[in-house]
Amino acid sequence: MTLLELADVTAFYGPVQVLDGVSLSVPEGGSVGILGANGAGKTTTLRAVSGTVRTGGRITFDGRDIRGLRPDQVAALGIAHVPEGRGTLGQLSVRENLLVGAYLRKGRKAISADVDYCLDLFPQLQDRVSSRAAALSGGEQQMLAVARAFMAKPKLLLLDEASLGLAPSTAKTVYDSIRRLRRESGIAMVVVEQNANLAFSLVDTATVLETGRNVLTGSSAELKGMDEIRRAYLGG
Ligand SMILES: Nc1ncnc2c1ncn2[C@@H]1O[C@H](COP(=O)(O)OP(=O)(O)OP(=O)(O)O)[C@@H](O)[C@H]1O
Ligand SMILES: [Mg+2]
C-alpha cells in the first residue's frame, strides 16, 4: 500500500517556481531518500508535503488528497516534519520539547512511556532532560528534533538533512538511532540528505532532484552502483 504519493508536484515562492513536476512514492513503512545539490528543491519537496509552500499537482496521503491543507491539518493526519535547522524550542527543556511533540495526543501513560523510549533511543539526552534545548550541542539538538517528531506518533517522518553541521561520528550516531527507530516503530520516512552514504544506510529507494525535477530514481543498491551517483555523492 502506498502511504504518500506526489505526482507532478510544482511549488512556488511568490511568483518563483522552484519545483517543476516532482514525483515520489512512499510505501507504508517504507523509507525514500531525496538527493540533490544545493538549491535542487529537496527542502521544498518536504514543505510541499507539510503544507508550508504553495503547490500544484497531486499529493495524497493515506488515500486522501492533502494538497492545500494547512500545516496543522497535515500534522494531525500523522506527518511529522523535522526541518532543516532542527526547530527545537530553545527556551524549553528537553522534556518540555518532547511533550510539545505529543501535544495532539491523549493518554499520559503512553506519552510518558514514549518519553522514556526517546531517552533510550538517544541516551545522550538522558542527562540533559532538564536542560534548555538551547544549551545542547548540535548533535543533541538534532537527536531532540527527531525524538520530538516521534512523540507525535506519526505515520510518516519527513527528515531534512539530519547530518548537517555534525561531526561524522555524531552524524553516524544519529543515523544509527533513526535506523533503530524505523525498525522498531515501522514509521515511514522521507529522508533528505546530502551525505549519500548516510542516506543509503536508511532508505530503500531514492530519487535525485535537479532544479526541481527528478532526474534519477531507483533502489539504494541500483543508485549506489551508478558512476554518476558515486562521483557526485559518494566521493569517488
Ligand atoms: N523562502 C524562499 N523564498 C524564495 N525562494 C526560496 C525560498 N526557499 C528556497 N528558495 C529557492 O528555491 C530553490 C529550492 O530551494 P530548496 O531549499 O528546496 O533547496 P534544497 O535542495 O533543500 O537546497 P539545500 O541543499 O541548500 O538545502 C532554491 O533556488 C532556493 O533559492
Ligand atoms: Mg534544503
Domains along the chain? 2-89+153-233 (3.40.50.300)
Q: What is the mean pLDDT of residues 136-159?
A: 97
pLDDT at 233 over 80: no
Q: Is the CB of 42 under 6 A from ligand 1?
A: yes
Atom of ligand 1 nearest to the CA of 194: 25
Spatial CA neighbour of 191 closest among 87, 47, 46: 46
Q: Is the CB of 47 under 6 A from ligand 1?
A: no
The DSSP element (H or E) to which 144 belongs, if any, is: helix 138-151
**Mean pLDDT of the region 27-50:** 97
pLDDT (0 to 100) of residue 236: 58
Q: Is 36 in the pocket of ligand 1 (CB under 6 A)?
A: yes
Task: Band the pLDDT of 86: cuts 50, 70, 90.
Answer: confident
- Among 59-63, 89-93, 111-115, the minimum mean pLDDT is found in 89-93
Phi, psi angle pair for 95, to nearest 5° = -60, -45
Question: Is any ligand 1 atom within 6 A of the Cβ of residue 32?
Answer: no
Which ligand is nearest the CA of 16, by number? 1
Q: For residue 162, is pLDDT > 90?
A: yes
Task: Report the separation in Å between the CA atom of 36 and the middle of ligand 2, taken as the mean of its atom positions.
Answer: 9
**What residue type is 205 in one-letter code?**
T
The protein residue whose alpha carbon is closest to atom 5 in ligand 1 is 13
> Which stretch of 2-11, 79-88, 188-197 has the lowest confidence by average pLDDT?
79-88
d(CA 32, CA 219): 9
Q: Quote the pTM value.
A: 0.96
pLDDT at 235: 66
CA–centroid distance, residue 33 to ligand 2 (Å): 13
All cell numbers assigned to 203: 532508505
Pairwise CA distance, residues 123 & 119, whole Å: 5
Counting residues of the chain whose pLDDT is more than 70, the rounded percentage is 99
Nearest Cα neighbor of 185 from 121, 135, 97 is 121
Share of the chain above pLDDT 90, in %: 90
Cα 41 to middle of ligand 1, angstroms = 6
CA distance 48 to 121: 29
Query: How buried is 49 (Cβ within 10 angstroms: 0-12 exposed, 13-18 middle, 19+ buried)?
Result: buried
11 has pLDDT over 80: yes
